[in-house]
Structures are given as C-alpha cells and as structure tokens.
Amino acid sequence: MNSNKRQSNIMVSKNPVIRSIDSSTIVLIVERGAFHYDKFVLKDTILSFYPDTENSINKDTLASYHTYSTQKVSKTERNQLIKKILESDFFNLKDTYNNQASCNSMLTITLSLGNKHKKILCDDFKRDCPMLLQYLESEIIRLHGYKLKRIFLPG
C-alpha cells in the first residue's frame, strides 16, 4: 500500500462483535426539499455543500445558501457520527416515510458504508420522519459550520 494513501478503519463498536469500516468508503448525502433543494455530501472527512442552482430565492440576502462550499470534518467527529448511525440501526429503517400533509419539506438521507447502501426518503423532514434522520440533517449542518439551517416559509 502506498504510504501517502493510507486507509483508516473506524471502530464503530466495543461490543464483542467489533465492526470496522474503511473510512474511504463513507459517503453520507443529506438532500433537502421545499425552499432549499440543496444537498450536503460527506465523503470520508470532506463535507461539501451543493446549493440549488434553479430555484433561487433571495440570492442577494441569502448568498451563503447559493454558494458551493466545503469543510474538513475531524476524524473524531466523523467517527462519532457513523457510530451514532450504526447504533441507531439506520440500515433497518424503512425506505420511505410518507406524510399526508399538503405542505411538506422533503428530506432524503443516503448512506454508503463499505458494501452497504441505503437511501431513505421522508416526505416531510419533521412530520413522520424518524428522529435519527432529523438529527443527521442538523448534525451535518453543524459540522459544515456555515449555519445553513432550514428556512421556513410562511404558511
């Protein structure tokens, strides 16, 4: 193995069955709907924000919401996030959480870890959406550090 391209493994459990994951295989995608239509992508320790380029509202006053940006996340923070995801049994959640409300704001979480892959869609990020997914959205925003929290529309 090339010493410049070391792969690190994450210990995600101290249980008797120790699971480790090659960190270079980690991809977590958080996509927001309604007003935002943007996404955050965590690959290993690089967290990128991809703004919506078509549905741009208030581009002047909300410039940070319309600008691509990246942030380096510490390995410790990344490991804590992955540990929380795995301990919360993410891969056994349903693929879709529907909501019958007329005014929804979609949230999609996609996770790839090694050979495991799962995409979960919530019609609304608050109503009938598992707390873990709500936590992942807020934690990714916190880790990104640009305070790109959800903006709520009146109504």
Q: What is the pLDDT of residue 94?
A: 96
DSSP line for the chain: --GGG---EEE---SSS--EEEGGG-EEEEEE-TT--EEEEEETTEEEEE--SSS--STTTTGGGGS-EEEEPPHHHHHHHHHHHHHTTGGGS-SEE----SS---EEEEEEETTEEEEEEESSSSTT--HHHHHHHHHHHHHH-S-----PPP-
Mean pLDDT throughout 146-153? 64
- pLDDT tens digits, one per residue of 80-112: 999 999 999 999 999 999 887 666 678 899 999
Structural domains of the chain sorted by starting position, each given as residue range(s) with its CATH number in brackets: 20-144 (3.30.1560.10)
- pLDDT tens digits, one per residue of 124-144: 777 788 999 999 999 998 998
Q: What is the pLDDT of residue 70?
A: 94
